[in-house]
Amino acid sequence: MMRLRKIPPGWYLLILLSIYAIVITFLWRRSISNGSEIRVSTTPISMPVERLEPKQGMWFPIPGAHLPDRDYYLPGSLRNYRSGVNQGFDFYADTAGIPIVFGTPVIAAQDGIVIRADHNFQETLEEDWLTLMNEVSKREASEQELNILRGRQIWLRTKDGRILRYAHLSGIDDDIQLETEVYQGQVIGFVGNSGTDDGVKGTTRGARLHFEIWEPSGSFFGQGYSLEEIRTMANSLFVGP
């Protein structure tokens, strides 16, 4: 009885390739006879891509914070301890959405240049502070008096000419000096209570950040607008982080 020879595995591959070649040749000849030609496009397919523009705006001076949820802590609100109005935003732990304690880092809200840094700040004597508060309860405080009440400060000048004022700081980063260029998000100082009743008493209670934005025109952000309008404007101004 005859035994069938075993076909080597390589022949199976050769047979399949031959069949494939025959089929491709047949299809090619058919397309030629029909007057058509198989073409492969070399033009890349363009897909619509949304262009992402970098966010333009100001960061909150304390990362993770949001606008104070009380109108009393917005610029333009009346002060109950002195004559005049608030000229900036007040960030406290119970109104800004995040823990804000004595020593919490404070960042540059925009790129800018340091034009004031109170490294050598000294707290006012408590009796002098009380005398000042008695005076400004009867009349509007002068800029010099407000500077005392703001405590330790950093001022930045941004590229668009705004002045950013950080007040009540407990300290300032050593790298922050006059004419220092800072970048958005850089730590420049730390939350404190300087210039306040708690600060002059030497305690760490009442930690907060007072943050003012002064326009090139010389008015503070929101000046002349209602609190509702200021809140709307601020929601557009701040973009994070």
The ranges assigned to domains in the chain are 58-240
Per-residue pLDDT of the chain (241 residues; tens, 9 = 90+): 444 444 444 444 444 444 544 444 344 444 434 444 333 333 333 333 333 334 479 999 999 999 999 999 999 999 988 989 999 999 999 899 999 999 999 999 999 999 999 999 999 999 999 999 999 999 999 999 999 999 999 999 999 999 999 999 999 999 999 999 999 999 999 999 999 999 999 999 999 999 999 999 999 999 999 999 999 999 999 998 8
User: Strand 154-158's sheet: what is its strand order?
Assistant: 89-91, 209-214, 163-167, 154-158, 112-117, 181-182
Contact 176, 117 (CB under 8 A): yes
Give 172's contacts (C-beta < 8 A, 6+ positions apart). Answer: 117, 118, 119, 152, 154, 188, 189, 190
pLDDT, position 83: 87
- Measured distance CA(164)–CA(155) in Å, rounded: 5
**Rounded (10°) angle between helices 143-150 and 126-136:** 130
Which DSSP string do the residues of the chain spell out, in sequence order? Answer: -PPPPPPPHHHHHHHHHHHHHHHHHHHHHHHHHTT-------SPPP------PPP-SEE-SSTT----SSGGGSTTPBPSSSBSB--SEEE-TTTSSS---TT-EEE-SSSEEEEEE-TT--PPPHHHHHHHHHHHTTSBPPHHHHHHHH-S-EEEEETTS-EEEEES-SEE-TT--TT-EE-TT-EEEE-B-TTSHHHHTT---S-BEEEEEE-TTSPBTTTTS-HHHHHHHHHHHEEE-
Question: The domain 58-240: what is its CATH number?
Answer: 2.70.70.10
The alpha carbon torsion through 204, 194, 164, 238 (nearest 10 deg) reads 30
Q: Check residue 240 and give its pLDDT.
A: 83
What is the reported pLDDT for 17? Answer: 42
